[in-house]
Structure 1
Amino acid sequence: MAESVLTVRNLHVRFRTGDGILHAVKGIDLDVNAGETVAIVGESGSGKSQTMMSVMGLLASNGWAEGSVKYRGEELVGLSPERLNRYRGSKLTMIFQEPMTSLDPLYRIGDQLALPLVTHGGLTKAQARQRAIELLELVRIPDPQRRIDSYPHEMSGGQRQRVMIAMALANNPDVLIADEPTTALDVTVQARILELLADLQKRLGMSIVFITHDLGIVRRFADRTYVMKRGEVVESGATREIFAAPKHPYTRMLIDAEPTGRKEPVPAGAPVVLEAKDVRVSFVLKSSLFGKPIHVLNAVDGVSLTVRAGETVGVVGESGSGKSTLGRAVLRLQPASGMVRFEDRNLMPLDRAGMRPLRRHLQLVFQDPFGSLSPRMTAGEIVTEGLLVHDPRISRRERDRRAAQAFEEVRLEPAWRNRFPHEFSGGQRQRIAIARAMILHPKLVVLDEPTSALDRSVQKEIVELLRDLQKAHGLAYVFISHDLAVVRALSDEIMVMKSGKVVERGSADAIFERPQEEYTRDLIAAAFLQEREKVAAGASLAS
């Protein structure tokens, strides 16, 4: 019989909220054996992340756990933080879903990687720095000797996630809890990270608890799977058996969920909302003693695009390709050169005050929702914050009514607007971020990985919602993503970026059916590996 490393029995997790007690996890049992991978899947809000946060003793201050969590026979529930720290960071480590909120913006990446190595591994500072460079190499960070001295804001979202993975692996843990560890990664890097984790697991004999909404990853990676819905385990067993013959209707729904359909064509004669020409963004990474640039990164290198009313331009590429920087540049949130025109206004000469009246028409949905939502404000206050700036005369009651309406549009309960961000799952927080942008009825929205934190079933709803909003209001979208299935379902035109340049562009059908560049073909092949597996799973189910 396999040795149990982690044993969970009758675990309950509750939170005190403004609406009463929220029962997030309802008496679940779970086992993790030595050397195996266990997946916990379910929609946003199902309780999968809170289950593992309680194991680590990392619940928010208004939450508490009851029941039993044993690591190799020792009870963890009720331990003081000092005693828990004997396990956290060494025996039990966790890769968090949102890396920007887990990395200190004031410290260099190398210093943050060195901390667990010095604290738990007993290494000297010099040894820890060398080990940190090795870890960055393991997770495929380019030029690790230089990037070790970077700050978190100088790295892309995917690169920050890889730093978090390196930090979690620093002390060769016994149990690695991975909470959506590949959410921010493009498909090719995702495949490499999964291969890396599998290799490390085999070499070190560690157990992995994989929390995810991506069932393609689960099918390839997990030995056993627990399916959670509304705080309860509705099905569990060997992963192969669950995919071949799911017993619960909810499990079958998760397996079948996928963004489908295609966007309607842009109406003939639709006006141009945004036109950008030869946009360039450069970062000086290293300067001489006298301030002369020595190493310059051309993050966006001469990119042009045009977006019409009702049109979606999808921007795809690997992490660090410059797609998010391009999105911020066209909104004048990032210093850039070139020309950017919104309707009949040239935005480049405008200062901050000149841009302010236009901001309600130019909205951005960020990649990292938790980092963009104030923890001191309720969700309703966050969603209506823009109304205070752009429609200051409307009453508080009217703002609250619009907040409730916005919550309904993004498939959230209106009553939840009185909760705080930490009381929502990652996917729910992303929907709040979308509601905040849409409540102002903008003309152009830059969506930077807006579905990256959402499970597939909710992605499907959000894709349909974005299509409906676009059709009703003639919205123009710049849709930035590494999820090519979602990009294809939403986009009219697609731009493929690599190293700051556009290497291929064309209609969505042309890019996916007749890609011209090898780089594009590699992206599509990596993305649709998962889709082929889902088709195979469906075939097994049908048989």
Structure 2
Amino acid sequence: MEPILDIKGLRVTFQTNDGPVEAVRGIDLSVKPGETVAIVGESGSGKSQATMALMGLLARNGKATGSALYRGQELIGMSERNLNKVRGDKITMIFQEPMTSLDPLYRIGEQLAEPLRFHRGLSRAKARPRIVELLKLVGIPEPERRIDSYPHELSGGQRQRVMIAMALACDPDILIADEPTTALDVTIQAQILTLLAELQQRLGMAILFITHDLGIVQRFADRVYVMRRGEVVETGATADLFAAPAHPYTRMLLDAEPAGRKLPPPENAPVLLDGQNVEVVFRSSGGLFQPADELRAVDGISVALHQGQTIGIVGESGSGKSTLGRALLRLLPSAGVISYKGRELTNDPAAMRPMRRELQLVFQDPFGSLSPRMTVGRIITEGLMIHEPALSARERDVRAGEALAEVGLEPGMRNRYPHEFSGGQRQRIAIARTMILKPKVIVLDEPTSALDRSVQKQIVDLLRDLQQKHGLSYLFISHDLAVVRALADYILVMKQGRVVEQGQTEAIFDHPAQDYTRTLMAAALETTRFRQEDPAPVLP
């Protein structure tokens, strides 16, 4: 069978302040009709940039050379007008970071209607039933109501599902899925993968699947390309590659997994952050013929975070995890008593400003929180300009390099811009921006969701080391239960704004008391990646 997509000698080069950077170095790749092909590799390996090149979506300083044929049509160098006839219709893409792909000023129904109106000529009225159908397919609750929601009113996982619905709207020939389950909890991951498999079988579309989760690859892909530093180091049928990986880098990816347990805090450790009966209620004003709506995102939760402790907050998308984290830092209006070191925190932004240095937050979507107009060095040191104004520019620059080195990036990268980094690298930059201030309490909202397993191990080790050295306290919000188990002392399990179970980490994992918790654990086991018994080799 002839390939539907045939890539030969593809190269992607970015012109940066430090000179040209070659992100993709002459790769060959093909996809046949109805086939699922996975591209795997660590953050920065070039897997996303390769697909962005064939879609004509590289940043302005990026240039693609080589060949990418879709049904005999050359995509590299194709005019914008002709590309628009292909992308969004014949070839669609699910992006890694949904909040930066959805327009915050438009309702999701309006945005889902765009490809249907442009490529299918449907009116708004005729597009609406199809949009509701798509939202149902991707598991959005109450689609008839959610169709009129804005992106900020959805959880991270729900926003990603909207992006998946948009990509599937026109029944594409090829679906490029760039980390489509990164922001989803374990139960929804399985649903989305099943949905994609069913749609592929029904429509006969090909899927080019970009991921760092090898568990998904093993269950989902027919063939695999393994990328490292812009090059394909190994390729083959999925079963053969997992059974007998030939390259040591592939073997390292298979064996990577966050492991170990953190040391518990002292029994007499003082409480730093204390929340009692915390509530967050979102209210809509309603319309002319619609009553006002009320959503209790956080419903009477109490939590006490001790010095040196990590509390893991787990639950499905939309359970209120992120909202609780922001409420405890008074980053959104909330009811209840919240205190830090015995001092009550108010909803007054001015009163909270002096305390922000010690109470920090790492956001789930790094690209949305990093200014595209600033270099990484300026982004990282922005907090120092507020909280340590006496530092010279040279001192700030040195601190920026040290912070980048701490999170596993080259200090010289501080002169680049966010768009020049992979999703995982951007997340590490976001962590560096927080760590540079040496806070006391950090709310980590899915800080490893965009990272591959090998980098997750590094970040988990980094967080443990910083915690032990400085006595830091973490609220760790995540749907990745393997990471939570490696990092947390105590766990809160949330569902629909409430805590349904809580306790010591090992007790929750080994003896969950609630059916909901057991469902989360079972889904995590189902999506656990393939494991090899042999130890990983030392890479040259």
Instruction: Describe the superposition over 1:450-496 as per-residue Cα deviations: whole angstroms up to 9, x where unpaired.
Output: 00000000000000000000000000000000000000000000000
TM-score (norm 1): 0.97
Instruction: Describe the superposition over 1:27-67 as per-residue Cα deviations: whole angstroms up to 9, x where unpaired.
Output: 00000000010000000000000000001010000001000
Q: What is the rounded CA distance, in whole Å, between the counterparts of 1:112 and 1:345 in structure 2? A: 44
Matched with 1:366 is 363
User: 1:344 and 2:342 equivalent?
Assistant: yes
Matched with 1:210 is 209
Q: Secondary structure at the match of 1:360?
A: coil
Q: What is the rounded CA distance, in whole Å, between the counterparts of 1:66 and 1:252 in structure 2? A: 30
**Cα pair 2:321 2:477 within 8 Å, conserved:** yes
Query: 1:534 is matched with which residue: 506, 522, 530?
Result: 530
**Cα pair 1:243 1:541 within 8 Å, conserved:** no
The CA deviation at 1:353 is: 1.1
Q: What is the rounded CA distance, in whole Å, between the counterparts of 2:498 and 2:264 in structure 1? A: 26
Q: What is the rounded CA distance, in whole Å, between the counterparts of 1:68 and 1:428 in structure 2? A: 27
Evaluate the alpha carbon distance shift between residue 141 and residue 285 of structure 1 in structure 2; reply closer, same or farther with a 3 A threshold.
farther
Query: 1:507 is matched with which residue: 494, 501, 504?
Result: 504
Matched with 1:300 is 298
Instruction: Describe the superposition over 1:121-180 as per-residue Cα deviations: whole angstroms up to 9, x where unpaired.
Output: 121211111111110000010000000000000000000000000000000000000000
Q: What is the rounded CA distance, in whole Å, between the counterparts of 1:132 and 1:380 in structure 2? A: 42
Alignment of 1:48-447 (within 5 A): 48-285=47-284, 287=286, 289=288, 294-348=292-346, 351-447=348-444
The CA deviation at 1:294 is: 3.1
Q: What is the rounded CA distance, in whole Å, between the counterparts of 1:257 and 1:78 in structure 2? A: 38
**Cα pair 1:284 1:293 within 8 Å, conserved:** no
Structure 2 counterpart of 1:87, one-letter code: V
**Cα pair 2:284 2:294 within 8 Å, conserved:** yes
**Cα pair 2:108 2:148 within 8 Å, conserved:** yes
Q: What is the rounded CA distance, in whole Å, between the counterparts of 2:399 and 2:292 in structure 1? A: 51
**Cα pair 1:246 1:252 within 8 Å, conserved:** yes
Unaligned runs of 5+ in 2: none
The CA deviation at 1:258 is: 0.1
Q: Secondary structure at the match of 2:86?
A: coil
Structure 1 counterpart of 2:341, one-letter code: E
**Cα pair 2:186 2:527 within 8 Å, conserved:** no
Structure 1 counterpart of 2:399, one-letter code: R
Structure 2 counterpart of 1:250, one-letter code: Y
Instruction: Describe the superposition over 1:297-353 as per-residue Cα deviations: whole angstroms up to 9, x where unpaired.
Output: 1000001101111100000000000000000000110100001000121003x5111
The CA deviation at 1:267 is: 1.6
**Cα pair 2:215 2:530 within 8 Å, conserved:** yes
Q: What is the rounded CA distance, in whole Å, between the counterparts of 2:488 and 2:400 in structure 1? A: 28
User: 1:516 and 2:513 equivalent?
Assistant: yes
Q: Secondary structure at the match of 2:157?
A: helix
**Cα pair 1:41 1:213 within 8 Å, conserved:** yes
Evaluate the alpha carbon distance shift between residue 118 and residue 529 of structure 1 in structure 2; reply closer, same or farther with a 3 A threshold.
same
TM-score (norm 2): 0.98
Greater shift, 369-378 or 339-348, is seen at 339-348
Structure 2 counterpart of 1:40, one-letter code: I
Matched with 2:12 is 13
Structure 2 counterpart of 1:352, one-letter code: P
The CA deviation at 1:539 is: 7.8
**Cα pair 1:244 1:541 within 8 Å, conserved:** no
Instruction: Describe the superposition over 1:278-309 as per-residue Cα deviations: whole angstroms up to 9, x where unpaired.
Output: 0000111453659x963211000001101111
Q: What is the rounded CA distance, in whole Å, between the counterparts of 1:361 and 1:262 in structure 2? A: 25
**Cα pair 2:311 2:492 within 8 Å, conserved:** yes
Q: Secondary structure at the match of 1:384?
A: helix
Q: Secondary structure at the match of 1:486?
A: helix
